[in-house]
Amino acid sequence: MHQTLLLCLSLLLAISLFVMLGQRLRISAPIFLVISGLVVSLIPGVPRIVVDPELIFLIFLPPLLYEAAWFTSWKEFWRWRRIIVVLAFGLVIFTAFAVAYVSSAVIPGFTLALGFLLGGIISPPDAVAATSVLRGVNVPKRVISILEGESLVNDASSLVVFRFALAAVLSGSFVWQKAATGFVMVTLMGIVIGLAVALVFYVIHRWLPTTTRISILLTFMAPYIMYLTAEEFHYSGVMAVVSGGLFLSNHSHQILNHSARIQGTGMWSTVTFALNGLVFMLIGLELPVIINGLDGYSKTESILYALLITFLIIVTRIVVVLFSSVFTRIIGRVISVADRSPGWRGPVIVSWAGMRGVVSLASALSIPLTLTNGEPFPHRNLILFITFVVILFTLVFQGLTLPMIIRKVNYKDPDHRAPEDQQVSAIRLKLLKVALKEVEEKYAIEAINNELVSNLRNRMENDLHSITRHLGSLERDGVQVDQYNKILTDIITAKRNALLYFRSLDEFDDEVIRQEEARLDLEEEKVNHPIH
C-alpha cells in the first residue's frame, strides 16, 4: 500500500515537473508527457507499470467527460451539431470499416471481426490533446467548438463499435442487423439515463438546502452515478455522462451559487489536470510492457503494420472531413446549415487535429486475455502494439506539426467576432446600463436620501464612463491595453505586498486578510483571463 501511494505521488510530482518543462519549451502538455513517459520507461530500474483498464474506464473517464461536457458551450454545440454528428458517428464508423477491411487483408490470420475491434479502438480522437495544442495558436472559435463537440460524442460511438466487435470475436458470430439496432439502442438509452440522473441532481441542487461544499461534492459524484447507472443496464455510460453533464451545465446558473461556481471551477481544473496528466504519462510508461508482449511477431513486421494502420486512419480522416466540406456546400442549397461555404482551410485543421489518446489506450487494454473457451485471445498483443503506435505517432507527429499547419493554412475567423477583451467590455457596459436603469426606476428616492445607495449609483456611473473609454481604447490601440494591464498588475502586486505587511499587525484578523487576498485574486484573474 505504501509503495503504491509513493508511486502515485511520484507520478504526480513528475507530471508537474514535466508540464512546467514543457511550458518552458512551448510543447503541449499531452505531447510532452507521452514523450517523457516513454523516456522514463527506458531508464533501467524503473518499475514496470501495468494499467488496469477498469481503472481508466471507471475512475478516469467519467470525470474527464463530465468536465468536458460542463465547459462545452451548448450554443456552439447546437450550432455545429451536423458536422459534429458526422465526425462523431459517421467518421468513427467509416474509420472502423476501413481499418477492418485493410487489416484483415494485410495481417495474416486477422479476421474481419478483429479488424472492427481494432477500428473501434483507434477511431476516436482525443480532444484534450487537440485543444491543448490549439490553445497556443490563433485559431477561429468554430474549430475548437467542432473538435470539442466531436470528442464528447465519438468516445461513445467508438466504444459501442468496440463492444459489438468484441462480442463477435468472443462468440464467433456477427449479425449486422442486431449490431445496428443495438448501436442505436445503447446510444439513445444512455442519453435517457444520463438525463434522468441529471434531473435527480437538478432537484437536489434546486430544492434541498445544500451548501457550497455539498454542491461541489454533488457535482463530483454526478458523473460516476450517471456512468455506473447506464453501464449497470448495459447502455452507454459515456453518453449518459455527456448528456447529463450538458444538461446540468446548461442549468448551472439555477442550481449553483456564485461561491460554488468559483470554487468548483478551481476544483475541477485541478482534478482534470491530474487525471489527464496521469493518463498521458501512463501511455508512455506502457511501452516496455507492450513490447515485451509481442511474442510471435517480429518487431519489424509489427512496426510496419502499425505505421500502415496509422497512415490509413490519418488519410481516412482527411478524406472524410474534406468531403464533408464539399457535401455541406451542396446540401446547404436544400437545408439550413451553419455555414454554406466552409472552404478548405478550417476542414484541413480539423482533419489534422485527430490525435488519439486515453479512450483508445483503455479500450485496447480491456481486451480479455482469453476467449470463452479458454484459448488465448487472437492477436491481442499485436492490437495493443498497433494502438500504442497510433497514439504515439498521432500525438507526437500531428501534435507537433499542427501549429505549423495552422500557420500555413492562415485561416481567418469567418465569423468576424470581436476580440475577447472587446466582448467582455461590451457585456460589462450593457450590465451597468441595466443596473443603473434598475436604480433609477425603482430606487430614485433612496438614491437621494440614502447615502450608501447614492454612492452606489455614483460608482456605477463612474464605471460606466470608464468602461466606455476602455472599450474605445480597445478598438483603437492594442498597445494601450497592454500598458493598462501591466499597470493594473503592478498595482495589484503593490496591494499584495501591503497585505503581507498588514498580516504582521495585530489590528487585522487573518480571516479579513484572506478575504482581501481572494478579492485581489479575482481582480488579477480578470486581467489575465478576461473571458472567465
Of 409, 434, 449, the last residue of a domain is 409
What tens digit of pLDDT does each residue of 315-337 get? 999 999 999 888 887 776 677 76
* 183 assigned to some structural domain: yes
What is the rounded average pLDDT for all residues in the chain? 83
Q: Is residue 230 part of a domain?
A: yes
When mean pLDDT is compared over 193-197, 363-367, 497-501, the highest value belongs to 193-197
Indicate whether 420 belongs to any domain: no
Instruction: Determine the average pLDDT of the residues in 292-314.
Output: 86
Tell me the per-residue pLDDT of 341-360, one tens digit each, with 9 for 90 and over. 777 888 899 999 888 887 88
Q: For a pLDDT cut of 70, what percent of the chain falls above it?
A: 90
* Residues 220 and 288 both lie in one domain: yes
Q: Which domain holds residue 336?
A: 2-409
Q: Which helix (H) or strand (E) holds 299?
A: helix 299-331
- Shared domain for 195 and 287, answered yes or no, is yes
Strand ranges inside 294-421, DSSP E: none
Q: What is the mean pLDDT of residues 58-63?
A: 86
Nearest Cα neighbor of 121 from 84, 169, 186 is 169
Q: What is the pLDDT averaged over residues 288-308? A: 81
Give residue for cell 480578470.
526
CA-to-CA distance for 476 and 21, rounded, in angstroms? Answer: 37
Say yes or no to pLDDT of 530 above 60.
Answer: no
Question: Is the same domain home to 447 and 385?
Answer: no
Cα–Cα separations (whole angstroms), residue 22 to 15, 18, 26, 286, 356: 10, 6, 6, 21, 19
Answer yes or no: do 365 and 458 share one domain. no
369 three-state secondary structure: coil
Please check whether residue 161 is in contact with residue 119, taking contact to mean a CB–CB distance below 8 angstroms: yes
C-alpha cell at 338: 451553419
Average pLDDT over residues 85-106: 91
- Answer yes or no: is 202 within a domain: yes
Instruction: Tell whether 274 is covered by a domain.
Output: yes
CATH number of the CATH domain containing 195: 1.20.1530.20
pTM of the model: 0.80
pLDDT at 477: 56
The average pLDDT across 423-450 equals 81
Is residue 414 situated within a structural domain? no
- 356, 504: one domain: no
Give the pLDDT of residue 531: 42
* 516 and 462 inside one domain: no
Which of these, 100, 55, 95, 6, lies nearest to 286 by C-alpha position? 55
Is 421 within a domain?
no
pLDDT of residue 178: 67
Asked if residue 175 has pLDDT above 70, the reply is no
Task: Give mean pLDDT, residues 43-52.
Answer: 74
Q: Which of 476, 501, 518 is the last residue of a domain?
A: 476
51 and 158: one domain? yes
Q: 338 and 229 in one domain? A: yes
How many CB atoms are located within 10 Å of the residue 66 CB?
26
Q: Cα–Cα–Cα angle for 441, 446, 450, nearest 5°?
A: 150
Q: Are residues 155 and 252 in the same domain?
A: yes
Kindly state whether residues 191 and 166 are assigned to the same domain. yes
Residue 527 sits in the same domain as residue 399: no
Cell of 54: 477498469
Count the domains in the chain: 3
Residue 161: pLDDT above 60? yes
Q: Could you give the angle at the alpha carbon of 116 between the alpha carbons of 114 and 119, nearest 5°?
A: 110
Residues 449 and 367 in one domain: no
Looking at residue 313, its pLDDT comes to 95
* Distance between CA atoms of residues 420 and 474, nearest Å: 10
Is residue 361 a contact partner of residue 283, using CB atoms and an 8 Å limit? yes
